Amino acid sequence: MITLADLPLRADLVGQEPYGAPQLQVPVVLNVNENPYPPSPLIRHEMAAALVTAAGTLNRYPDREATQLRADLARYLGHGLTADRVWAANGSNEIMAHLLTAFGGPGRRMLTFTPSYSMYPEYARNTCTEFVTVPRRADFGLDAGLVLDAIRETEPTVVVIATPNNPTGTVVGLDVIDEVCSGTEAIVVVDEAYQEFSSGPSALELLDRHPRLVVSRTMSKAFALAGGRVGYLAADAAIVDACRIVRLPYHLSAQTQAVARVALAHADELLAQVRQLAAEARGFEAWAKGRGYAVIDSQANFTLIGRFADRHQVWQDLLDRGILIRETGPDGYLRVSAGTPEEMAALRAALDDLLPTIEGITP
């Protein structure tokens, strides 16, 4: 037996830990922003039938261009998009890996704005891209001046703006994104993983004006397909071609493509659940404010609440009661994913039970 220390690991990986939120078997799981509603029996039966059909050709490689899936995604997104302007991959994680492999790398920088998604530095690290950050405003928003000043100072080749932002749920206006894209030659990636939960417009509206703009999405949340692993982007066809250069052959299995196409065919049914989850999140925020918690106004399917003198203790106390949330974000806050009405009721009851013991909260 050898240990990791015995291997010729890249120097920048020494001491690193694999990414991963806790995966624990507890009654209420509200820590990774999943959609708590599985596909309906009808959709599951259609997925099963699609898998049976796909199984008939599993001796052959899948369509490496995911042509039909990309066409379906283009139709779903609208805005005059066609398949050549859409790219699909194994989750939005691989979308970011493709973009940074193509436009990042040694001697290049990726810029983003903190607090933000905890995987961003790992995307940069894995592609040997320098990772630089600039803090968001005190309200966790962004304005064009802040972003453009950061671009001038750091000279990135890739700028990532998450909206709604994870973990804060705050949004960035299209006017800001428009001005940023007009003021830089960098690739601007707008990460819209939670856009379907938001009431605001999408940066898809700006694609025709800005050829270096990329809008990244995922099917994990809105389409209840976290286990299916499908992420995608919309951009100029040249950016899609750049991703095609660096993607591994046959990176998206025939099974994945088949299941994703069924989900897209039932977009109306699945998006109805999105509206329900958004309402659950907004209702929980109002409840938490009424109990004296600090709440960051969110337009995603999650909420940051605080401020806790010892957030880890609160996280542990909830876990001891069978409720798993996420210890992430700004100091003193915990992130809560929207769940079913029953799950949210259990969370509220547990927080009420704990409230007299939580230091820093005044009901």
- As a whole number of angstroms, the distance between CA 291 and CA 153 comes to 42
Q: What is the pTM of this model?
A: 0.95
Q: Work out the percent of the chain whose per-residue pLDDT is above 70.
A: 99
Backbone angles phi, psi at 230, to 5 degrees: -135, 120
Sign of the CA dihedral running 284, 287, 292, 298: positive
HSE (CB half, 13 Å, CA atoms) of 264? Answer: 22
Give residue-wise pLDDT tens across range 128-144.
999 999 999 999 999 99
Q: Please check the confidence at residue 315 and state whether its pLDDT lies above 70.
A: yes
Q: Is the Cβ–Cβ distance between 304 and 334 less than 8 Å? A: yes
Give residue-wise pLDDT tens across range 176-187.
999 999 999 999
Mean of all residue pLDDT scores within the chain: 95
What is the SS3 assignment for 249? Answer: coil
